[in-house]
Amino acid sequence: MYFHSLQFLAFLVVSFALYWAVHRSKAARLGVLLLASLAFYAAWSPFPILIFVWCAVVDFLAVKGMARWRRPGVRKLLLAVSVVSDIGVLCTFKYADLFYSSAAWLLGHLGVEVRYEPLGLLLPIGLSFVTFQAVSLVVDVYRGQLEPTHNFWEHLLFLLFFPQVVAGPIVRAKDLLSRFGDKPVLDADTGARALYRIATGIAKKLLIADLIAAGLVDRVFADPTLYSSAECLMATLGYTLQLYFDFSAYSDIAIGSAALFGFPLPENFNKPYLARNLFEFWNRWHISLSSWLRDYVYIPLGGNRRSRPRVLLNLMIVMTVGGLWHGADWRFALWGAIHGVGLVVIRSYWWLIGGRPKQHTLLGSAVGIVSTFAIVVFTRIVFRASDLTMARVMVERLLDFSPGLANVSVPVWIAMGVAFVCHYLPHRAYSLSADLFARLPVPVRATALVALGLAIRKVGMVEVRPYIYFQF
């Protein structure tokens, strides 16, 4: 049930109506949300729900145990059991084949013959998001940042809340679980803005991301040797735009859908391609993942409090882990490690000049934005290519410097141009358009949404494409 499908919109309407019909009763409204979340996930595949229930049971018993027993040793043991359970589930269903095949390859090179056969384990959709969210809850309780006053069904709903279960944002307990007890409120203005956010996400997905993908990116990355260097460069640039508009579209729909039920989810993007360096980029891109890695990996490793060599090592570890989180393939780890090297170089340069610049000139900002964007674009070759061999072929084709853009169609040019304009418009422009939509009479709003739907049907892709981050 894709977010940009009519089935999801119908599902959302039914869930919305049932929720607000019983919203005065906490048990009833949360029961509606839990049943809706279970039904939403079961529409993809029901079996993984048992995996998530297992995680919820172990984590719930752990946090309740921490509340009952205050001895540090017991609390550490409960934390360890919970985290090992969550990460163990993630490693088993997502990385077991990768580790197995890598071990077989390594042993083969050492003279030990191992016959590798894929395990073929089911990869539950959204597993990476759910497990990271589960770990954050348990760690927050252990740190004393959250009191575990919730019941098991609330715990399970926190993990499976349908607007964001499949591809985030990775929500903290303070932003969702702690709000379950609050009486929900939805005024006309908030509802209108939520609908506008959902409509914006659908348009970004179908009119920009999918059009660029089908019109250029997929064909070029399938076989770069058939295209000129200029077309390969356009495809690489196009994928950078596709990835942002695809993933931010999902986040828009997730945030808008959650708002309809009275839950404000945190933003996940902040115009990342305006970043002046890689540190700033990761503070703007997939914010929920970046902040998770900072709070639950980087800081426990020592963060900035250790020696300079250790700080640089921490950066490399975090970025490599963050890269591997994106998929069970070593090219993702390589992609993360390349970003780690970039962060190490920047941090070392700041130490050399006496700290991060407190002010940026217009020229310095322009140079920083262009260079950071260039790094992001070209590292995405490793991210998008089917394997490292194809990534090498793509790079070689780019370095061939052959001209020609005959395979870049007019719709692709338009979509990429609109993408650049939409991304670089100030936040104020979006706020003003949302304000205008919220002030329109209801019939006019309905007409605008219908017109958007007709435009999508006319211009958008006939083929339904899954969101890119579903695979992660």
> 50-54, 270-274, 419-423, 435-439 — which is least confidently predicted?
435-439
CA pair distance 469, 248, nearest whole angstrom? 10
Q: Exactly one of 326, 339, 360, 427 is catalytic; which is it?
A: 326
Predicted confidence band at 442 (pLDDT cuts at 50, 70, 90)?
confident
CA pair distance 222, 134, nearest whole angstrom? 37
Q: Are 86 and 55 in contact (CB under 8 A)?
A: yes
Distances (CA, A) of 289 to 153, 184, 254, 262, 338: 25, 27, 16, 23, 18
- At 118-146, the pLDDT tens digits run 777 778 888 889 999 999 999 999 998 98
CA pair distance 293, 300, nearest whole angstrom? 10
Q: Which residue has the tokens 């540090």?
A: 72
- At 6-22, the pLDDT tens digits run 788 888 889 999 999 99
Q: Are 412 and 212 in contact (CB under 8 A)?
A: yes
CA pair distance 12, 16, nearest whole angstrom? 6
- At 297-345, the pLDDT tens digits run 999 999 888 888 999 999 999 999 999 988 888 999 999 999 999 999 9
Distances (CA, A) of 53 to 59, 176, 465: 10, 18, 29
Share of the chain above pLDDT 70, in %: 96
CA pair distance 51, 90, nearest whole angstrom? 10
Q: Are 233 and 263 in contact (CB under 8 A)?
A: no
Q: Are 207 and 460 in contact (CB under 8 A)?
A: yes
Helix axes of 330-353 and 308-325: crossing angle, nearest 10 degrees: 150
Specify the pLDDT at position 462: 46
Task: Check if 326 is active-site.
Answer: yes
Structure tokens at 180: 């379950």
CA pair distance 242, 257, nearest whole angstrom? 22
